[in-house]
Amino acid sequence: MSRVDELRLMTKVARLYHEQGMNQPEIATMLDLSQATISRLLKRAEQEKIIRIAITPPHGTYPELEETLRKTYDLKDVVVVDCENDDDDQMLRNIGAAAAFYVETTVKRGEVVGISSWSATLLAMVDTMQALPRLAGVKVIQILGGVGNPTAEVHANHMTSRLTTLLHGEAKFLPAPGVVGSASAQGVLNDDKFVCETTELFDHVSMALVGIGALEPSKLLASSGNVFSKDELETLRAHGAVGDICLRFFDAHGKPVNTPLDKRVIGMRLQQLQRAKRSVGIAGGRRKLTAIRGALEGRWINVLITDHLTAERLAQGNRP
């Protein structure tokens, strides 16, 4: 077969496949060729630039920005959502909805899903999620103490129980505050049978869903009572803390900020979070920019779901 004959055949196959919507077996039957030959011709047509694939991203999607962040911070995946401005309720809902879709499309049978408490974005996520077909062996683990102010505590329990219902899984609650009064109180609670049953599962979490907090607590966290005092926050600031995940603080380079306050937290540790196959950080807004960057620098998360304004600032560089 001469080159022009082969190019002609490539073109014919490409038109049948891409313009007329025929599948490879149909083309093979029509042209009396093997399906393997059709596959080879389509591949060659791409190499010869007969087929040129153009992807036109729909309005409100940011594939190039997602890819930039994925490569810059060596992440498994990045989801960037559209928003009109910083730190508004609509942005929170958009991020929550994107996180819901991410979970709906990626959760697997036997998954051990960890979810943090006291995150408004995670609350938005579970409130927009759709129930999934039953998957065998799914567990949902509360990875930060959920006991606190009775009103806020409802939110913490709602997140875990709602996610469990949607995934048809088995729930494991963490019946303790996120922050206790002393290291000795933490020790006593960590020895509690029901607390132990949950914390022992932290090392088995395969997908962790976490908010990323700025040093100043969010309204939901503040109302829960699971916060440090102003003086204690100043101590953290003096040690370089810029944000937290599950009340475990880190600096702008992502390095853990270890102070005696850490011994008063009942929840997953950063090193345990890092060992999860997918540690999904769900956060956005200018107020959390430094904290999100710190979480990325520390490699505490490997999937990021955020808004496009925050993503653009992260992509602009200025890495610490």
Contacts of residue 275, Cβ cutoff 8 Å, sequence gap at least 6:
203
> What's the confidence (pLDDT) of residue 86?
73
| Contact of 227 with 261, CB cutoff 8 Å | no
| Contact of 144 with 246, CB cutoff 8 Å | yes
pLDDT tens track of the chain, all 320 residues?
Answer: 567 778 888 899 999 999 999 999 999 998 888 999 999 999 999 999 888 887 778 888 899 999 999 999 999 999 999 988 776 788 999 999 999 999 999 999 999 999 998 888 999 999 999 988 888 999 999 999 988 887 777 778 889 999 999 999 999 999 999 999 899 999 999 999 999 999 999 999 999 999 999 998 888 888 887 888 899 999 999 999 999 999 999 999 999 999 999 999 999 999 999 999 999 999 999 999 999 999 999 999 999 999 999 999 999 865 44
DSSP per-residue string spanning 255-320: -B---GGGGGB-B--HHHHHHSSEEEEE--SGGGHHHHHHHHHTT--SEEEEEHHHHHHHHT----
Give this prediction's pTM: 0.86
Residues 110 and 32 in one domain: no
> What's the confidence (pLDDT) of residue 1?
52
Q: Domain for residue 53, yes or no?
A: no
> What's the confidence (pLDDT) of residue 320?
44
Residues 39 and 176 in one domain: no
Q: Domain for residue 201, yes or no?
A: yes
Q: Domain for residue 233, yes or no?
A: yes
Q: Domain for residue 301, yes or no?
A: yes
Q: Domain for residue 54, yes or no?
A: no
Determine the 3-state secondary structure of 69 from DSSP: helix
Q: Domain for residue 57, yes or no?
A: no
Q: Domain for residue 320, yes or no?
A: no
Enter the tokens of residue 175: 């019946």
Contacts of residue 93, Cβ cutoff 8 Å, sequence gap at least 6:
124, 128
| Contact of 183 with 251, CB cutoff 8 Å | no
Q: 10 Å Cβ neighbour count for 200?
A: 11
Number of domains the chain contains: 2
Owning domain of residue 92: 63-315
Q: Domain for residue 58, yes or no?
A: no
